């Protein structure tokens, strides 16, 4: 089974890229972030034409998440939006139980984690609070769903190996100690960073700033992640960062990440 995550940074602008990705990659489940669309503007018809069903929750201009599932390969149930027990008007989280053709099922959680702006800022404190609320919700869910996959733009480069210039970035947003501690609190639940576990990987970074020719200089960070629960860790086949889509005209600043599992 192929599972992808992609911060598209406006689905309205990036729809041709997303449709191309769906045709080329034939993923079974895709989590999208930063759709930046009101629900009545979501391009459901165009996506359905390619054989995908859609779940989505969004706002015009910011945030927004969606889960796409390929018809015939992934059945969906128990859909929810938002972090359980954490009232928040920002539409950052979608979740569903996915059942594969094989009969195997897992809880799929797609999140657009807060950026945080800068260490010490109000948005930074919100980011840490949001991580904490999500951790509590996942901990509770893992008691009933041992098969769980968390994907999304987590806005954290977990180690110095995940940022192009660790010394230059030290103490900045995406790499601060508190953010990395928050990320590691999810790992402590028994989740595995699939990119670091996979026998086959492709790429280094999943995000390159639009500024300063960052893509041409390969000055990026790995902040888009696929985390799998302990019960699924042994089924990881590969994780590939599809840089090609970052190189297209009018791209998102993120590349899609594709996880393949033996399910």
Q: Which residues pair with residue 61 across a beta bridge? A: none
Give the tens place of pLDDT for each residue, 141-151.
Answer: 999 999 999 99
pLDDT tens-place string over residues 192-229: 999 999 999 999 999 999 999 999 999 999 999 999 99
Q: What is the mean pLDDT of residues 119-126?
A: 98
User: What pLDDT was estimated at residue 17?
Assistant: 99
Q: Where are the domains of the chain?
A: 2-261
Q: Which of 160, 171, 156 is nearest to 225 (CA)?
A: 156
CATH ID of 2-261, from 1.25.40.10, 3.40.50.720, 3.60.10.10, 3.30.565.10: 3.60.10.10
pTM of the model: 0.98
pLDDT confidence of residue 229: 99
Helix axes 177-187, 122-142, angle to 10 degrees: 10
Mean pLDDT of 245-260: 99
Confidence of residue 238 (pLDDT cuts 50, 70, 90): very high
Report the catalytic residues.
112, 153
Sign of the alpha-carbon dihedral angle for 201, 98, 139, 150: positive
Mean pLDDT, to the nearest integer, of 36-43? 98
């Amino acid at each position: 089974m192929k599972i992808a995550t992609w911060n598209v940074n406006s689905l309205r602008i990036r729809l041709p890229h997303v449709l191309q990705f769906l045709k080329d990659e034939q993923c079974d489940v895709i989590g999208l972030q930063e759709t930046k669309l009101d629900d009545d503007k979501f391009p459901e018809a165009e996506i359905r034409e390619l054989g995908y069903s859609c779940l989505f929750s969004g706002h015009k201009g910011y945030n927004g998440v969606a889960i796409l599932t390929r018809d015939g390969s992934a059945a969906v149930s128990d859909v929810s939006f938002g972090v359980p027990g954490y009232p928040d008007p920002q539409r950052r989280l979608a979740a569903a139980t996915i059942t594969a053709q094989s009969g195997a099922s897992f809880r799929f959680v797609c999140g657009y984690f807060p950026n945080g702006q800068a260490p010490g800022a109000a948005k930074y404190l919100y980011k840490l609070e949001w991580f904490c609320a999500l951790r509590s919700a996942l901990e509770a869910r893992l008691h009933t769903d041992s098969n769980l996959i968390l994907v999304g733009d987590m806005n954290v480069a977990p180690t110095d190996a995940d940022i192009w210039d660790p010394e230059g970035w030290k103490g900045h947003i995406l790499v601060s100690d508190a953010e990395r501690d928050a990320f590691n609190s999810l790992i402590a639940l028994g989740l595995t960073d699939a990119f670091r576990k996979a026998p086959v990987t492709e790429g280094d970074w999943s995000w390159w700033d639009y500024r300063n020719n960052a893509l041409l200089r390969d000055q990026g960070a790995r902040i888009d992640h696929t985390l799998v629960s302990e019960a699924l860790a042994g089924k990881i086949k590969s994780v590939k960062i599809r840089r090609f889509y970052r190189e297209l005209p009018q791209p998102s600043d993120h590349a899609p990440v594709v996880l393949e599992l033996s399910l």
